[in-house]
Amino acid sequence: MDAFIKTLLAQPQLAAADEQALARRARSGDPAARDALITAGMRAVALRAMLHGFRGDEMRDAVQSGALGLIRAVDRFDPDCGTRLATYAWHWIGSAMKQARRDEPLNASDELFADAAASDGHELLLGLPDELAEVVRLRYGLGTPDAAPMTLSEVAHTCGLTVAQVRHREAKAMRHLRVGLAKVVHRAPHRGADPL
């Protein structure tokens, strides 16, 4: 198994009280609390990818896509709703993985993009070169609350690129994002591994 995936699976599960406290701080705008929730949630992303049967490069791609779903879930998570983040994020993670497997836009009513009041995803694109950020913005409908995700073909037409060029730029952007997420994971305190 990939060392990065092993690292994600080794992340300890937050205690419910700790998760709730972090979520409240994240909702108040604390970026460190948000990062801690994302780091802790990456374990659920890796588990979901394994349950879907992904292996090798497909596993890494699924984890990248699932991380986008996790980030959206973290940004919408209400710590007072009576559910754990992993439970709340499970659908979002799976939807993002399924979206990445097909070259079709999500239905506008899909939960992944339905909450117009949610974060526009701008912070996700920070640090990406402009040409990569543009492809991710268009592919995943980021940037404005009413933006809809596009297919590879639609992005290629909009940007004046070939489908292969769009696919290459998207993969490169995902590698950048994966490195960023790995840094967040490595910054997390290690308190002992929980097998599940």
pLDDT tens track for 37-60: 999 999 999 888 888 777 777 888
Rounded Cα distance, 34 and 41, in Å: 10
Task: Give the pLDDT score at 108.
Answer: 35
128, pLDDT greater than 70: yes
Query: Which one of 98-102, 106-110, 129-133 scores highest in mean pLDDT?
Result: 129-133
pLDDT > 90 fraction of the chain, expressed in percent and rounded: 25
Instruction: Say if 196 falls within a structural domain.
Output: no
Residue 1 is predicted with a pLDDT of: 64
Split at pLDDT 50, 70, 90, the class of 122 is low
Tell me what pLDDT residue 112 has. 33
162 found inside a domain? yes
Q: Which residue has the higher pLDDT, 182 or 5?
A: 5
Query: Distance from first CA to last CA of the chain, Å, rounded?
Result: 16
Rg of the chain taking only CA atoms, in angstroms: 16
pLDDT band at 123 (very low <50, low <70, confident <90, very high): low
**Does residue 28 have a pLDDT over 90?**
yes
Number of folded domains in the chain?
A: 1
* Alpha-carbon gap, residue 10 to 124, rounded angstroms: 24
Which of 25-29, 56-60, 94-98, 108-112 has the least mean pLDDT? 108-112
Residue range 61-101, pLDDT digits in tens: 888 889 999 999 999 999 888 889 999 999 889 888 887 66
111 part of a folded domain: yes
Q: What range does the domain containing 26 cover?
A: 3-187
* Residue 110, C-beta contacts closer than 8 angstroms, at least 6 positions apart: 95
Which region among 4-18, 93-107, 140-154 has the lowest average model confidence (pLDDT)?
93-107
pTM: 0.53
Of residues 100, 69, 98, the one with CA closest to residue 86: 69
| CA–CA separation, 116 and 177 (whole Å) | 23
What span, in angstroms and rounded, lies between the C-alpha atoms of 72 and 38?
Answer: 10
- pLDDT recorded at residue 40: 92
At 141, list the tokens: 């409908």
Asked, for residue 192, whether it belongs to a domain, the answer is no
**Is 36 among the domain residues?**
yes
Tell me the torsion sign for CA atoms 134, 117, 13, 98: negative
Residue % of the chain over a pLDDT of 70? 75
